[in-house]
Amino acid sequence: MDLKYEKKNIHSTITEKEISMMKKYSKEYMKFLNEAKTEYLCVEYAIELLTKNNFVDINTLQEIKEGDKVYFINKEKSLYVAVIGKDALTCGVNIIGAHIDSPRLDIKPMPLYEKQNVALLKTQYYGGIKKYQWLAIPLAMHGVIYNEKNEKVVVSAGEEDDDFCFTITDLLPHLSRDQMKLSANEFIDPEKMSVLFGSIQDRTVKKDKIKENILKVLYRKYGIKEIDFARSEICFVPSFKAKYVGIDESLIGGYGQDDRVCAYSTLKAIVDIANKPDTVDRTMIAMIVDKEETGSYGNTSMSSLTFDMFMNRLINMSGEDADLLEIYFNSKMLSADVSTCVDPCYEEVSDIQNSNTLNCGVSLEKYTGSGGKYSSSDANASYMSEIMNLFDREKIVYQLGTLGKIEKGGGGTIAYILANKGVNVVDCGTPILSMHSPFEVASEADIYMTYKAYVEFFRMR
Ligand code: MN
Ligand code: MN
């Protein structure tokens, strides 16, 4: 009898067949990372994937019945997906929710200025970043902007290999003596994080020659004027592509894996199950939401009541006499967000026996938060047991993580928002290294195991 718990490394048991399935999955996943670097682009990608697999916009239907596959788009930046099961909604639904916003640099409402023969755009960072990591790297620009006719213009530049890109300058070491004395938190002034945007003059004008020329270029390319920046959502993200990391090609590096790795697994899982001929028992709900990185505030975040509206829509369209709160009470959820794993170079911030390790599977995290479990959603023991038994039964390799040593920092996910509604929730996602950096790293085996865990959760009774 095995009394002692020991972690398993996926590579100690993985079969050749699983490896080839995993490689195929990774290829598509990396393509997704490259194509969907903002929440707008993620939603677009998701709709394409769902449409290809016969999911329909819920607005096109009058009623829903067992086996129906629907989605609801919330302001182009978050998405709720449902596959209707055999059981009544009142029995509860199986929910997986991930977020699709990632740390990045947004532009300010009036960003353009010129100085020392260069045009620049002022930025404001979005989410928790280590500011120095975003300097002197190639950046791409993505977003939407509206013109005075209220027409939406999609902006995307800096992604193609033969395309131009953008960057933020950093001070040369030779003149950084004073700067290097400051703490890492202080030595980059966020007001100095302006993006290099151009340098050619418009010689027909007297002043602001470069700014004027940039405005001409922008008008030519996008039909926009300076004031239109105020009605835009434009951001800068790393322009480099996702790649295998390591001589054995076992890890995947790329921007925005927090939390697009779990968002992708969630979408793939619901689509793959929906493609099987048998219908599921419990209704499955997949969601990819916005604004987690800034605290889940706003109408596209998980806190938005739009999710309740979607659930009410399902009740009304199913013709069932159900109560939304009772559905929540009987529902189960995986909060699909990345966790950290022990960084081999910074072991001291982790409690090793309560931390994730690369290649040891999807992370099941009973609680997040910080210090005295503040702001955390702490899963009930009975629910932990239910999920652990499911994973054991279905041979899902998982590990039990926490977010570092108790007083070293901390963080949260969307878990508490659904838990507050009465849903049984636990955090479950891929462990990653260099979280919130421009190039986050995860194990390919853990990524694939995350997908498999989500498939089994969705199907659970
Ligand atoms: Mn996250
Ligand atoms: Mn995050």
Residue-wise pLDDT for 308-364, tens only, equals 999 999 999 999 999 999 999 999 999 999 999 999 999 999 999 999 999 999 999
Q: State in Å: Cα 152 to ligand 2 middle.
A: 29
Domain match, 41 and 60 both: yes
Domain match, 191 and 119 both: yes
User: For residue 425, is it within any domain?
Assistant: yes
pLDDT tens readout for residues 115-167: 999 999 999 999 999 999 999 999 999 999 999 999 999 999 999 988 899 99
Rama region for 295: left / alpha / beta (φ>0; ψ in -120 to 50; rest): left
User: For residue 243, is it within any domain?
Assistant: no
Closest ligand to 129 CA? Answer: 2
Q: State in Å: Cα 336 to ligand 1 middle.
A: 8
Residues near ligand 2 ion, CB 5 Å cutoff: 258
Closest ligand to 259 CA? Answer: 1
Q: What six digits make up the tokens of 2?
A: 């095995």
Domain match, 265 and 344 both: yes
Burial of 32 (0-12, 13-18, 19+ CB in 10 A): buried
Domain match, 164 and 44 both: no
Q: State in Å: Cα 338 to ligand 1 middle.
A: 5
Domain match, 375 and 298 both: yes
Domain match, 68 and 114 both: no
Q: How far is CA 12 from CA 24, 255, 445, in A?
A: 20, 29, 11
pLDDT tens readout for residues 231-275: 999 999 999 999 999 999 999 999 999 999 999 999 999 999 999
Q: Which domain holds residue 108?
A: 104-238
User: For residue 174, is it within any domain?
Assistant: yes
Sheet holding 431-433, edge to edge: 243-245, 251-254, 440-443, 431-433, 339-340
- Residue 409 has a pLDDT of 83
Pair 314, 283: CB distance under 8 Å: yes
Domain match, 202 and 307 both: no
Q: State in Å: Cα 352 to ligand 1 middle.
A: 21
Q: State in Å: Cα 258 to ligand 1 middle.
A: 5
Does position 376 have pLDDT exceeding 90, yes or no?
no
Q: Which of 238, 272, 296 is the last residue of a domain?
A: 238
Q: State in Å: Cα 373 to ligand 1 middle.
A: 18
User: For residue 2, is it within any domain?
Assistant: no
CATH no. for residue 177? Answer: 2.30.250.10
Label residue 185 by pLDDT band (50, 70, 90): confident
Closest ligand to 335 CA? Answer: 1
User: For residue 249, is it within any domain?
Assistant: no
Closest ligand to 294 CA? Answer: 2
Q: State in Å: Cα 419 to ligand 1 middle.
A: 17
Q: How many domains are contained in the chain?
A: 2
User: Could you give the CA distance from residue 356 to residue 135 in angstroms, rounded to a whole number?
Assistant: 30
Domain match, 389 and 356 both: yes
Domain match, 229 and 313 both: no
Q: How many CB atoms lie within 10 A of CB 228?
A: 17
User: For residue 360, is it within any domain?
Assistant: yes
CATH no. for residue 454? Answer: 3.40.630.10
User: Could you give the CA distance from residue 31 to residue 169 in angstroms, rounded to a whole number?
Assistant: 29
Domain match, 84 and 109 both: no
User: pTM score, two decimals?
Assistant: 0.97
Domain match, 170 and 76 both: no
Q: State in Å: Cα 455 to ligand 1 middle.
A: 20
Q: How far is CA 116 from CA 124, 136, 166, 291, in A?
A: 22, 18, 17, 36
Q: State in Å: Cα 292 to ligand 2 middle.
A: 7
Q: State in Å: Cα 87 to ligand 1 middle.
A: 31
Q: State in Å: Cα 430 to ligand 2 middle.
A: 12
Domain match, 63 and 159 both: no
Q: State in Å: Cα 238 to ligand 2 middle.
A: 16
Q: State in Å: Cα 99 to ligand 1 middle.
A: 7
User: Could you give the CA distance from residue 254 to residue 105 in angstroms, rounded to a whole number?
Assistant: 17
User: For residue 1, is it within any domain?
Assistant: no
